[in-house]
Chains A and B, each alone.
Chain A
Amino acid sequence: MTYLKKSPWLLHYDASSCNGCDIEVLACLTPLYDVERFGIINTGNPKHADVFVVTGGVNEQNREVIRNIYEQIPEPKVVVAVGICASSGGIFRECYNISGGIDQLIPVDVYVPGCAARPESIIDGIVKSLEILEEKRIQMKERAKQKEQGSSPGGGER
């Protein structure tokens, strides 16, 4: 089934972003773009989320937070790095307190470039991420199947 693609729930986290990309992410929810058309809801809860949207680069303050949120999201999940800072560190790349893009810390599936990223390109990035989300779900299902098959014959492996 492809329910996952019809109802992706976002979790938006502002790493060290300047708020430019954050405002553009929120603009997607306004009547003009209205991403709820696609069933996309902006949740405030990692445990309900499917798509992790991060804006801004990694610094020492938010390193733990990003990892913690990422681990709280149930499988299958995708990460979308919105804006050039989240993608590579942007103009802050050389700063002493910035480690770089989000991919320094957690696996990123889709990079949305721009400073600030436009709402259209953010929506485009999310839609791209849904394909990956679906792939991950199939992989997850196969893994579960293999695990089941691996343990079922004999049943006395432990």
Chain B
Amino acid sequence: MISLTNAILFLLLAPIIGGLVSGIDRKLTARMQGRVGPPIFQPFYDVGKLLEKENLVVTSSQNFYILSYIVFIVVSGALFFAGGDLLLVIFAFTLAHIFLVLGAYASNSPYSFVGAERELIQIIAYEPMIILSAVGMYMVTKSFFVNEIAASELPLILYLPGVFIGFLMVFTIKLRKSPFDLSTSHHAHQELVKGVTTEFTGPNLARIEIAHWYENVFLLGFVYLFFAFNPVIAIVAIIVAYLLEILIDNTFSRVKWQLTLKSAWIVAGMMGLVNLGVLYYLAGVLI
């Protein structure tokens, strides 16, 4: 059953949760670097300010692409929380990022181009692992529907430990954390100006930021699915996974795109595919 209430709740609450998570993230990052750090609500102030700024656009098609980006991110997240088809969610999610890349390409700026190409490389790096996660969940629960996966009594994490490790790997890429913050970063790195977001100002940048909050909540929901048999363990797992990402973010420097692609695919292959292979051969015994 598709739950409309959950979808509406996601639409309303996800920006608040996503913004708060982002604020706590910045505070913890600052503490790890020995700084005081900004207030917890800083991400909201940032977005509020960006909405007040002038919207400078190079080509007006940028506005359209960014609007499509946020719409498709929201649609994929809402579909996920409503309990829809996981494959459809992943397709909408990928399409959203393609719109972001197109928006960056539309501006004809060299920095934006490099950012867009790097964003594409990131999509290539994480996409196989996200699909493998969906396939793994299907193999265990015999359903691609999120509500049926979430309602399953089976402890997915015990069947899919390799897939989960692979998912954590691409989680780092998706959260735009070091060492994989190739296309754009939350830190004051300046080597590529600001990568994929270079040519977006004011309200458009605010939309990208809000879309990123929605996206983060959706990804945390994906982590939840692995532990859906017990909500308490699931919440703890989400918190531990996010803290781990912050720690990784602050202890690694950015790597080159070649290593990002290789390591993401090697982990997806080693952990994900082997896990699925074992599951396939033991299907009769385990499930």
Binding site for B on A (CB under 8 A): 1, 3-4, 6-8, 29, 31, 34, 36-39, 41-45, 47-48, 50, 72, 74-76, 137, 140
Residues of A within 8 A of B155 (CB): none
By CB atoms of chain A within 10 A, which of B49, B189, B194, B198 has the most? B49
Residues of B within 8 A of A4 (CB): 49, 52
CA distance in complex: A8, B201 (Å): 14
Question: Which of B52, B190, B201 sits near A47, CB closer than 8 Å?
Answer: B201
CA distance in complex: A36, B25 (Å): 14
The contact sample of 29 A-B pairs, CB cut-off 8 A, is A1-B52, A3-B46, A3-B49, A3-B51, A4-B49, A6-B45, A7-B42, A7-B45, A7-B49, A31-B34, A36-B36, A36-B37, A37-B36, A39-B38, A43-B188, A43-B194, A44-B189, A44-B193, A44-B194, A45-B194, A47-B200, A48-B197, A48-B205, A50-B49, A74-B53, A74-B55, A74-B56, A75-B53, A76-B53
In the complex, whether B30 has a CB less than 8 A from a CB of chain A is yes
Total A-B pairs in contact (CB under 8 Å)? 81
Residues of B within 8 A of A7 (CB): 42, 45-46, 48-49
Shortest Cβ distance from residue A88 to the other chain B in the assembled complex, whole angstroms: 29
Q: Are B53 and A42 in contact (CB under 8 A)?
A: no
CA distance in complex: A92, B136 (Å): 68
Say whether chain B's binding surface is mostly helix, strand, loop, or mixed: loop
Shortest Cβ distance from residue B170 to the other chain A in the assembled complex, whole angstroms: 27
In the complex, whether B263 has a CB less than 8 A from a CB of chain A is no
In the complex, whether B33 has a CB less than 8 A from a CB of chain A is yes
CA distance in complex: A36, B51 (Å): 20
Residues of B within 8 A of A38 (CB): 38
Q: Are B37 and A3 in contact (CB under 8 A)?
A: no
Shortest Cβ distance from residue A104 to the other chain B in the assembled complex, whole angstroms: 25
Residues of B within 8 A of A6 (CB): 42, 45, 48-49
